[in-house]
Structure 1
Amino acid sequence: MSYEAKVYNVMIASPGDLEEERKVCREVIYDWNAVNSETKKIVLMPTGWETHSSPEMGGTAQGIINDQVLSPSDVLVGIFWTRAGTPTAEHESGTIEEIERHIAAGRLAMIYFSDREVRLSTVNPEQYAKVNAFRESCKSRGLLNNFETVNDFREKFSRHLQIKVNTHKIFSGLNSMPESVLPEIEAPLSIAQSLTREARFILKEVCLDEFEQVSYVCYFGGADLETNNKNLLEGIDSSAMTKWEVGFHQLETKGLISDVVSTGEVFKLTTKGREVASLLK
């Protein structure tokens, strides 16, 4: 039977050396839709210049792509390997321009860098230097992710996509709330009751930590979630990893922990977090 759902445009932005990853990105999104769209009432629409742009005169090619594909995008997935792409009038490449414009608009951007092997004879040193320069510029502005193989990218992006849909404010409807309507402040007891089992466990451990801090670091093959002298993800298999990551991000989105130095790696317990933790049994 038919059902109503809200459609979110997910733009895939990358230079031309990542054809496999672009394909995988679409497959992961389609898989998410097949499993979740009816219950979540959300449809994720993968978009890109090759499928969602059409011929038009009167502007630069990048400017037209920005208008036709980038502007309607709710989420952007940026992927880099050895090439930055073709320079534009304003940025080192079209892909970089798309990412910078999307971030400047305050929208969700998920950025990945490939570390998979490549024949050195096929690498353009100037292009690769631009990729590394952009990677360094991004490190101080958020949390990136690296991957080693196409399958590694598939696994990571699939997990990250689930986390974002479950926790990011864009999917909660907050972004579409009329400006004249103030959001209702969620009571501490209501927050405590809404937390997942994993989120509750993490919050209790953070309260026991000497500095009331928790660190979260992703790397090839897994992630570390450390607090109270423990790695809470040690021994956790990939199938259970998502629940713990969702729990951690739930604490962040509820304002129970806050980023210490804006790197997305070290978080500190907030006053609100202490209050909610005191209500947990």
Structure 2
Amino acid sequence: MKRQISVFIASPGDLSNEREYFRKAINQLNVGFGDGADLEFNALGWEDTLASTGRRNQSVINEDIDRCDVFILVMNRRWGQPAPDAQPFSSYTEEEFHRALERWKKEEKPEIFVFFKRVDPESEADAGPQLKKVMEFRKQLEETRQVLYHYFDDEKSFVSEVDRHLRAFAKDELPKSDKQRDMNVLPLSALNEVEKAKNLAITKMKEAEDARDAKREALLKVEAMQLQMAEDAAQLSLEGRIEYARQKFAQLVVETMNLRVLLLGYEFYKRTGDLDSAFLVLKKLLDISGPDEHSQGTAMVYGNLGVLYKTRGELERAEDMYQKSLAINEALGHKAGMASQYGNLGVLYKIRGELDRAEEMYRKSLAINVALNRKKGMANQYGNLGVLYRRRGDFDLAEEMFQKSLVIFEALGLNDGMASNYGNLGNVYKARGELEHAEKMYQKALVINEALERKEGMAKQYGNLGTLYMTRGEFDRAEEMYQKSLAINVSQGFKEGMANQYGNLGNLYKARGEFQRAEAMYQKALPIFEYLKSPLKNSVIELLSDIQSRAAG
């Protein structure tokens, strides 16, 4: 008899689409994963009460909560239907959550997951009563750390989160909810610029006060206040109080016209995976600097827009942004900006498999950085060339490039660059069959990335370790690493990383003889590789064909 897992979904009335997709996700899990693991997920919610009793009876709903194995709460902008008969709770949704939580405190079940659909900064800056309650609730969850919660952008990413969490629950592979809270360390250069601007505003404000220029003094007072607020938000982010920082940045990016504050807000949203909000901030910056202006500010915004489009996998739009930024930098004779965009274009061409074009861009960037003695830029391009040579199979030249890059990053004391090179050297050693040496490099890289909370770096090293364990035939350890990598890539919206890990999981299941699960992973990887115009799509097509022919045979 199959193991039965009851999953209850609670949500306010503004998430009807998600409730429908939740049931589809449950059905998909049962067909693939459930059959293979000899278990069955059962979806529960108020719709079931309505079907069985003809009315939405809260007491019957509560009975479902009292017997479920997993409780999922989904929220967006609304707090829920008022519940005058459910004091001290202000909505039935809140009552349902706390009923599940109290049961968990006594029985350590049900497992509770909370998912928040992202809300734009403009709405959060001017939140009404319903959204304010949701925002306060997010802060409470972050403070107590009793319950895992995650964000999602749309129905597709919601289904992915449900799928991932329920698989982990069924396999008893969930992380502990009382783990150290995440930090978000914002760029030191951006913070220094904000602090300088604040001190300058305070100085000018005193000068205006001495000159009895009340209007100028008032404007400078507002500017200094916003800059201080940005510093406070960055500090909250560093302390792991991401929800408090998020609400401060939401207010700031709507109210301010200060470029430094907006850039700090952009970095915050990008690093927390909120790409929609990051785009909104960049578009505001572009309006301020002028989309048709030939200025360093406009060039910088186009370059950052390219980075976001690349993260989303929109490579043609990313290339367009990089080219716009490059053209402005060339017209201005701004060599450092040209070097950055040559490097960005090189990374984009590498993703497409256009290795000759990528090498040309990397070489152009490197030449400028050498001429300007820009050490970090030189290190980045040595690293990029190393990745390219490794892909071509020239491991000795790749190792030479990575070592050159590592020496510079070590001299500069830049741990993030050191971590990237450790990981890249691990790839070279793995390709040579030096697995113990490779594992040491991956672990060194992982330790640094975890300390810095560099999500992309963590995802890469989990993936690298997974492939190494696969090579050794340690399939369970490999699957654990791939799933960790996939979870980060999904949460951050890293398309290339998602496709790579779906493909890796497909290879793992194929090696185990679990062909149905392998096919499901390849089917997820293929459209992403096609979207990215990656040459890896051809390999996935061949693997799918092989799996399907086996099934037919």
Q: 1:164 aligns with which of 162, 169, 193?
A: 169
- Partner residue of 2:69? 74
- Partner residue of 1:90? 88
Alpha-carbon spacing, 1:23–1:239, altered in 2? closer, same or farther (3 Å): farther
Cα displacement (A) at 1:21:
0.4
Mapped contact 2:77–2:134 kept (Cα < 8 A): yes
Mapped contact 2:9–2:45 kept (Cα < 8 A): yes
Cα displacement (A) at 1:64:
3.5
Work out whether 1:13 is the aligned partner of 2:16: no
- Partner residue of 1:128? 131
- Partner residue of 1:236? 497
Cα displacement (A) at 1:147:
1.2
- Partner residue of 1:45? 42
SS of residue matched to 1:89: coil
SS of residue matched to 2:34: helix
In structure 1, distance between residues paired with 2:137 and 2:113: 14
Alpha-carbon spacing, 1:230–1:155, altered in 2? closer, same or farther (3 Å): closer
For 1:62, give the aligned amino acid.
Answer: Q
Q: TM-score, normalised by structure 2?
A: 0.31
Cα displacement (A) at 1:44:
0.2
- Partner residue of 1:154? 159
SS of residue matched to 2:71: strand
Mapped contact 2:449–2:457 kept (Cα < 8 A): no
For 1:226, give the aligned amino acid.
Answer: M
In structure 1, distance between residues paired with 2:87 and 2:442: 48
Larger radius of gyration: 2
For 1:9, give the aligned amino acid.
Answer: S
- Partner residue of 1:180? none
SS of residue matched to 1:71: helix
Pairing of 1:96-245 with structure 2 (within 5 A): 96-104=94-102, 105=104, 106=108, 107-115=110-118, 125-140=128-143, 141=145, 142-168=147-173, 208=444, 214=450, 224=456, 226=458, 233=485, 236-238=497-499, 240=501
Cα displacement (A) at 1:204:
6.2
Alpha-carbon spacing, 1:212–1:238, altered in 2? closer, same or farther (3 Å): same
Mapped contact 1:206–1:213 kept (Cα < 8 A): no
Cα displacement (A) at 1:152:
2.1
SS of residue matched to 1:43: strand
Cα displacement (A) at 1:97:
2.0
Alpha-carbon spacing, 1:217–1:63, altered in 2? closer, same or farther (3 Å): farther
Cα offsets for 1:40-63 (capped at 9, x unmatched): 111000110111464499xx9433
Mapped contact 2:6–2:41 kept (Cα < 8 A): yes
For 1:157, give the aligned amino acid.
Answer: V
Cα displacement (A) at 1:95:
1.6
Mapped contact 2:445–2:461 kept (Cα < 8 A): no
Mapped contact 2:446–2:461 kept (Cα < 8 A): no
CA RMSD of aligned residues (A): 4.1
SS of residue matched to 1:16: coil
Alpha-carbon spacing, 1:35–1:111, altered in 2? closer, same or farther (3 Å): same
In structure 1, distance between residues paired with 2:155 and 2:93: 20
Cα displacement (A) at 1:208:
4.3
Question: Unpaired runs of 5+ in structure 2?
Answer: 175-435, 464-484, 486-493, 506-553
SS of residue matched to 1:152: helix
SS of residue matched to 2:140: helix
Cα displacement (A) at 1:36:
2.2
SS of residue matched to 2:43: strand
Q: Which has the higher contact order (CA 8 A, sep 6+)?
A: 1
Higher helix share: 2
For 1:94, give the aligned amino acid.
Answer: Y
In structure 2, distance between residues paired with 1:37 and 1:231: 25
Mapped contact 2:12–2:93 kept (Cα < 8 A): yes
SS of residue matched to 2:4: strand
Q: 1:63 aligns with which of 32, 48, 59?
A: 59
For 2:58, give the aligned amino acid.
Answer: Q
For 2:7, give the aligned amino acid.
Answer: V
Alpha-carbon spacing, 1:89–1:43, altered in 2? closer, same or farther (3 Å): same
Cα displacement (A) at 1:102:
1.5
Cα displacement (A) at 1:129:
1.0
Pairing of 1:21-36 with structure 2 (within 5 A): 21-36=18-33
Mapped contact 1:83–1:124 kept (Cα < 8 A): no
In structure 2, distance between residues paired with 1:52 and 1:238: 39
SS of residue matched to 2:40: strand
230-239 vs 85-94, which moves further? 230-239
Cα offsets for 1:172-229 (capped at 9, x unmatched): xxxxxxxxxxxxxxxxxxxxxxxxxxxx99x9678647979946979xxxx54639x9
Cα displacement (A) at 1:157:
2.4
For 1:139, give the aligned amino acid.
Answer: E
- Partner residue of 1:173? none
Aligned residues: 201
Q: TM-score, normalised by structure 1?
A: 0.58
In structure 2, distance between residues paired with 1:217 and 1:111: 22
- Aligned residues with identical type, % of pairs: 22
Alpha-carbon spacing, 1:237–1:56, altered in 2? closer, same or farther (3 Å): closer
Mapped contact 1:70–1:102 kept (Cα < 8 A): yes
